[in-house]
Structure 1
Amino acid sequence: MSLLTNVTDHALDDGYAEAAARRSAGGTGLPGRLRARLGLAAALLLSAAVVTLGAVQAQISAPTLAKEREQLINRIQSETAAADKLQESVDALRDSVGSTQREALRKQGGDRAELVSLLAGATPVQGPGVKIVVDDAKQARTSGGGPRESSGFSDTGRVRDRDMQRVVNGLWQSGAEAIAVNGQRLTSLSAIRAAGDAILVDNKPLAPPYTVLAVGDGQRLSTAFQDSADGQYLHVLQQNYGVRASISAQDEVRLPAAPSLIVRTAKPGKGTS
């Protein structure tokens, strides 16, 4: 009887009873997984809705942006065309002024007109000479701050206005009769200056490499320049700072006339007692 009584009282195994009790207290675990899946699905739906809304807004605003972009392009093209026309007008007026000045020099100078025009840069010139090409170092930096700022040398590897000034002055001193830098004819009033990292010749910005053409006795001019202090300065820039430079005598170089000239006259003044 005791066995029957025990089977009746403990019809369910103790382990199953404990498991049943845990399920009754904390649930089966299935609703938790279901909630996680439902949360993931909701997040995906929300993301899809955001993406769809963004695409719709982009489609709505695209025509407006395209129209604004087209208007901006048209404005740029229009302003560029206007600037080109103005530049053509300036060039034409400059040529006219140059022709008038050259004619005035011819009339006033008589037999010396050709020499005066040459020295003033009023007429194109050609003949034997020298070609010097100066360029930045291959790994040139855009800013300095080193010894160059105080000593005059280029520690950045970039060619500076003072470097070109010394090259040009060295050529004049070595016997050059006429000089042009990147096609820009130099006169006695020409200025070589800097605007940031750009070099200006008579306020016209030039880009490297800088090609300097000088009319004169080619081989003699080349030798005299390289032996001069300015030629040695250029050599130092090559050896110590990586500035690239080459010099060669030319059988013939062609230099244009200066774009515009400033004609100045002197008048005798009244003496003072």
Structure 2
Amino acid sequence: MTRSFIRPARLAALGVFALAGLIFWVSFNTAQGTNIRSDDSMLRLSDLIQERSRKNAELDSSSAAVRRQVDALAQRDDGTTKEQKRQLGSLEKGAGLRKVKGSGLTVTLDDAPTNATAKVPGLPDPQPNDLVIHQQDLQAVVNALWKGGAKGIKVMDQRLITTSAVRCVGNTLILQGRVYSPPYTVTAVGDTGKLNEALEKSPAIRNYQEYVDAYGLGWKVDEEKAMTLPGYSGTVDLQHAKPLR
């Protein structure tokens, strides 16, 4: 009786060819006839992110307008007294849902030039991470301004509330569903003397300013006698909460 069989070496070779064919097919299907190694695909991805961010901004504006109409209708005949409405207004202001006016300042942070070199003799040449704004840099400014008694803070064009998270991915800022690129601005309403003092006393900001002096990161503080911060207009629903004991 004749017995047919495949040698292990030949079976392994067939497996390798099959795997290679699968990889080529997946690569072709992903590329769809384009060069997946080119910068064009990355540019299209960046454009898509910016477009989605712009649409999110439009939706935020539209939903905020509808929310104001609903709130106005709900408060018109809800039976609350003037004192209760006053208390509600005070709570909304404290929560960042109402606009706030007063003196204040704006802090601007920016990446250093990509071809930056050490500005101080003896320092090593900068690494890529030394030339960009990081999440902790923005957080340090926001925390210092709160510590300085800010009545309200806005990052870029969005008001911060207690549930706001300042997060960076790569060299972009993601804030409440929208994407921003540097330069970044942080604006606070409050006593400018106390706000400046809080910035100067922050160890994290002093560390950041060492890189400003060494490699040219951007740092600018502008004071204004009168400014207005908009109220937060997004959702305030909490997904998770724990009672404070």
Q: 2:200 aligns with which of 219, 226, 238?
A: 226
Instruction: Specify whether residues 122 and 239 from structure 1 end up closer, same or farther in structure 2 by C-alpha distance, changes over 3 A only.
Output: same
Matches within 5 A, 1:176-255: 176-255=150-229
Distance in 2 (alpha carbons) for counterparts of 1:179 and 1:100 = 26
Give percent identity, aligned residues only. Answer: 27
Q: Would the aligned equivalents of 2:98 and 2:232 in 1 still touch at CA under 8 Å?
A: yes
Instruction: Specify whether residues 95 and 231 from structure 1 end up closer, same or farther in structure 2 by C-alpha distance, changes over 3 A only.
Output: same
For 2:133, the aligned partner's letter is V
Q: Does 1:95 align with 2:69?
A: no
Distance in 2 (alpha carbons) for counterparts of 1:91 and 1:169 = 27
Distance in 2 (alpha carbons) for counterparts of 1:170 and 1:140 = 31
Aligned residue in 2 for 1:135: 110
Q: Which has the larger radius of gyration?
A: 1
Q: 1:121 aligns with which of 91, 96, 115?
A: 96
**Which secondary structure does the structure 1 equivalent of 2:114 belong to?**
coil
**Which secondary structure does the structure 1 equivalent of 2:131 belong to?**
coil
Q: 1:109 offset after TM fit, Å?
A: 5.4
Q: 1:200 offset after TM fit, Å?
A: 0.9
Q: 1:134 offset after TM fit, Å?
A: 0.8
**Which secondary structure does the structure 1 equivalent of 2:150 belong to?**
coil
Q: Which has the higher helix share?
A: 1
Instruction: Specify whether residues 126 and 104 from structure 1 end up closer, same or farther in structure 2 by C-alpha distance, changes over 3 A only.
Output: farther
For 1:189, the aligned partner's letter is T
Q: Would the aligned equivalents of 1:222 and 1:249 in 2 still touch at CA under 8 Å?
A: no
RMSD over aligned Cα atoms: 3.9
Q: Would the aligned equivalents of 1:140 and 1:157 in 2 still touch at CA under 8 Å?
A: no
For 2:112, the aligned partner's letter is A
For 1:131, the aligned partner's letter is T
Distance in 2 (alpha carbons) for counterparts of 1:110 and 1:230 = 41
Please, which runs of 5 or more residues in structure 1 have no aligned partner?
1-80, 142-147, 265-273
Aligned residue in 2 for 1:270: none
For 1:97, the aligned partner's letter is R
Residues 61-94 of structure 1, C-alpha deviation per residue, up to 9 Å, x if partnerless? xxxxxxxxxxxxxxxxxxxx9x988964553223
Residues 246-265 of structure 1, C-alpha deviation per residue, up to 9 Å, x if partnerless? 1132201221121313145x
Matches within 5 A, 1:1-273: 88=58, 91-98=61-68, 100=70, 110-139=85-114, 155-263=129-237
Distance in 2 (alpha carbons) for counterparts of 1:209 and 1:253 = 20
Distance in 1 (alpha carbons) for counterparts of 2:56 and 2:154 = 25
Instruction: Specify whether residues 140 and 159 from structure 1 end up closer, same or farther in structure 2 by C-alpha distance, changes over 3 A only.
Output: farther
Higher RCO structure, 1 or 2 (CA under 8 Å, sep 6+): 2
Q: 1:128 offset after TM fit, Å?
A: 0.5
Instruction: Specify whether residues 140 and 213 from structure 1 end up closer, same or farther in structure 2 by C-alpha distance, changes over 3 A only.
Output: farther
After TM superposition, the structure 1 stretch with the greater mean CA deviation from structure 2, 132-141 or 186-195, is 132-141
Q: 1:112 offset after TM fit, Å?
A: 3.0
Q: 1:176 offset after TM fit, Å?
A: 1.0
Q: Would the aligned equivalents of 2:171 and 2:181 in 1 still touch at CA under 8 Å?
A: no
